[in-house]
Amino acid sequence: MIVYRDKETLAAFIGVWDFDGYIYIEHFAVNPLLRGQGLGTELLKEFIDKTEKIVLLEIDPLVDEVSRARLRFYERCGFYVNTFEHHHPPYRKGFDPHRLVVLTTQRTVSKEEYLRFNDDLRLIVMKKCA
């Protein structure tokens, strides 16, 4: 977890998993009071620039203006949309997996790279979250 502070205020955080070959951002959030000032763009680009690895994250499907604006934000930060049908496993028992869109820096990933991420997500990330 990487935490950014603005004096005594939590400004933003990035929750990451560092795997061989890529970094998975599980959570990225900017304090709502600080949004719209370029802080998220600055922090995310700085994070991406510090690694040679592909950075991967998931966003909600594009169903409304909020989700489309979120995609535009990530595209401005250098992310590419991957077209794999992707379902994130549920965080709690009794819930269904939910469809998300996979984004990556540098380029889109191959089917093999996507399957590796999907396995890491199911077998490592979600196992630790259970």
Report the alpha-carbon angle 12-18-20, nearest 5.
Answer: 155
**H/E stretch holding 65:** helix 65-76
Residue 68: CATH number of its domain: 3.40.630.30
**Whole-number pLDDT of residue 54:** 98
Instruction: Give the tens place of pLDDT for each residue, 18-64.
Output: 999 999 999 999 999 988 899 999 999 999 999 999 999 999 999 99
Structural domain containing residue 62: 2-129
Given a cut of 90, whether residue 13 has pLDDT beyond it is yes
Instruction: Give the tens place of pLDDT for each residue, 65-116.
Output: 999 999 999 999 999 999 999 999 988 888 899 999 999 999 999 999 999 9
Q: How many domains does the chain have?
A: 1
